[in-house]
Amino acid sequence: KKGNTLAFVGTINSECTKVYSDCKVGIKDKENIPVEILEDMFIGWAKSYFLANKKTPDLIIFYREGLSIPQIRMQLPKMDIPALQNMIKKIGDKTGTKNYKP
């Protein structure tokens, strides 16, 4: 009745033994999450990762629970990838991927 919960968990070390997590409640639609919400989650994680490792991650894997394959194919380019690109722009491009196009 109060909406969906969006939880984000990301590792902050290469052994996956330290994690960053964030949670937003009251999301009205799991398929139309505002890019800004995902972006804030990504930025919080990226800052934590960088502080712990003094470098940016070599690999980012998206896993979206609760969506079908067609929904994932629609949502990643619509929300997740733009949020990730915005994160890179906001925190600085230390990875050399500034011109990356998904």
* pLDDT tens figures, 77-86: 888 888 888 8
Phi, psi of 6 (to 5 degrees): -110, 115
Using one digit for the tens of pLDDT, what is the confidence trace for 19-68? Answer: 999 998 888 876 677 788 888 888 888 889 888 988 888 878 777 777 78
Higher pLDDT pick, 96 / 50: 50
- Token readout for 10 is 């990301």
Listed as own residue / partner, the contacts of 68-77 with beta carbons closer than 8 Å and 24 or more positions apart are 71/31, 74/31, 75/31, 77/102
Identify whether the C-beta of residue 45 lies closer than 8 Å to the C-beta of residue 22. yes
pLDDT of residue 1: 60
- Token readout for 74 is 């629609």
pLDDT at 101 over 70: no
Tell me how far apart the alpha carbons of residues 14 and 31 are, in angstroms, rounded to a whole number.
30
